[in-house]
Structure 1
Amino acid sequence: MPLLRRDVLGLIGGLAAGPALAVSPSLPEAPDAYRFAFDRLEGGRIPLEAYRGKPMLIVNTATNCGFAGQFASLEQLWQRYSHRGLMLLAVPSNDFGGQEPLEGMAIAEAARQVHGATYPFAAKSSVRGADSHPFYRWAAARRPAEMPTWNFHKYLVGRDGDLVGGYPAGTDPIGQDLIRAIGQQLQSA
């Protein structure tokens, strides 16, 4: 399968950002994802504790990314599995290629207008390096080989609040690998 230009750019960007991906020595010592909360675009907080016992898919997004079509695929996933308990959270980030120029509610509005996204959006956050959101530092400590290297990286958190896995930008949200992992979490008691 030939590499697409965006794939090559993503790989180069990820390699060039290598030193910036170093995990901060002051990692959160949280035993599970329920200890974290994200700011809402519209104000307030999104405490992950509110989703205890449910699988969560947390995706760093960017409206100007070549993978932005995944907003629509994530919507399909949301429509298919939210009623069964899946929580999906988009976390806009400008960390990769400066591809999230929008601020505040304009981010979610653009994703809704262009791609039909109706799932929740957190406020814009950093997802790599020492300034990254505490959830992302925790996830990087849990699975250092599965850290975000580009926009639309997906973290699946299991019903027990532990990190099930990280899925790179090129992973189709409605592809077999991710659907299988989500299905296993939805079926687990």
Structure 2
Amino acid sequence: MPTSVYDFKCLTPSGEQRPLADFRGKVLLIVNTASKCGFTPQFAGLEQLYEKYRERGLAILGFPCNQFGKQDPGSNDEIQEFCQLNYGVSFPMFAKIEVNGSGTDPLFSHLKQQAPGLGTNNIKWNFTKFLVDSDGKVVKRYAPITKPESIEKDIENLLG
């Protein structure tokens, strides 16, 4: 039974397994993303947080998902290109996954179990965010409407 996010491996857009242990000791913000969503402009805020805090130990991990309104229909390569061209995304993006239902990615099963949502464990929409401390423990879950800049104080507190 996984005890921290570091126990998981996730697929990169090129299809390689990347252990999240690569991020051991960092504060993580893990986000299910979509390229054609009303919240898509949050990529800009996420990138700003990443640029501001990565030297202090923040990593943002993006996981595209097409489960909500089919708002990320592209291939992994198309999604990567979109994020880089339109928002200058330089934080790690992973392969497209499912975050709810029988095909739920094991990492997201863990995240949802550790930080349930209001009234349900399921993720309600794109850009649900999970803040993870430097020990790999899930600290908090944020709703899709929560703008990245409003998480900044919580990130600073974990970075010390």
Q: TM-score, normalised by structure 2?
A: 0.93
Q: Does 1:153 align with 2:128?
A: yes
> Contact 2:115/2:139 (CA < 8 Å) preserved in 1?
no
Q: Aligned-pair distance for 1:47?
A: 1.1
Structure 1: gaps spanning 5 or more residues: 1-28
Q: Does 1:53 align with 2:25?
A: yes
Q: Which one-letter code corresponds to 1:75 in the other structure?
A: E
> Contact 2:65/2:97 (CA < 8 Å) preserved in 1?
yes
- What secondary structure is seen at the aligned counterpart in 1 of 2:108? helix
Mapping 1:31-180, distance limit 5 Å: 31-145=3-117, 147=121, 148-175=123-150, 178-180=151-153
Q: Aligned-pair distance for 1:50?
A: 1.2
* CA distances 1:123-145 after superposition (whole Å, capped 9, x unpaired): 00001122111011111222222
Q: Which one-letter code corresponds to 2:146 in the other structure?
A: T
Q: TM-score, normalised by structure 1?
A: 0.80
Q: Which one-letter code corresponds to 2:30 in the other structure?
A: I
Q: Which one-letter code corresponds to 2:154 in the other structure?
A: A
Q: Aligned-pair distance for 1:121?
A: 0.6
Q: Count how many residue pairs are aligned between Structure 1 and Structure 2.
A: 157
Q: Which one-letter code corresponds to 2:144 in the other structure?
A: A
Q: Aligned-pair distance for 1:97?
A: 0.8
Q: Aligned-pair distance for 1:49?
A: 0.7
* CA distances 1:54-107 after superposition (whole Å, capped 9, x unpaired): 111110000000100001111101110111111111100001111001112110
Q: Which one-letter code corresponds to 1:183 in the other structure?
A: E
- What secondary structure is seen at the aligned counterpart in 2 of 1:144? coil
**1:24 alignment partner in structure 2:** none
Q: Which one-letter code corresponds to 2:7 in the other structure?
A: R
* Structure ID, larger Rg: 1
Let me know the Cα RMSD of the aligned residues: 1.2
Cα distance in 2 for residues equivalent to 1:117 and 1:53: 22
Cα distance in 1 for residues equivalent to 2:147 and 2:30: 14
Q: Which one-letter code corresponds to 2:149 in the other structure?
A: I
Aligned-pair identity in percent equals: 38
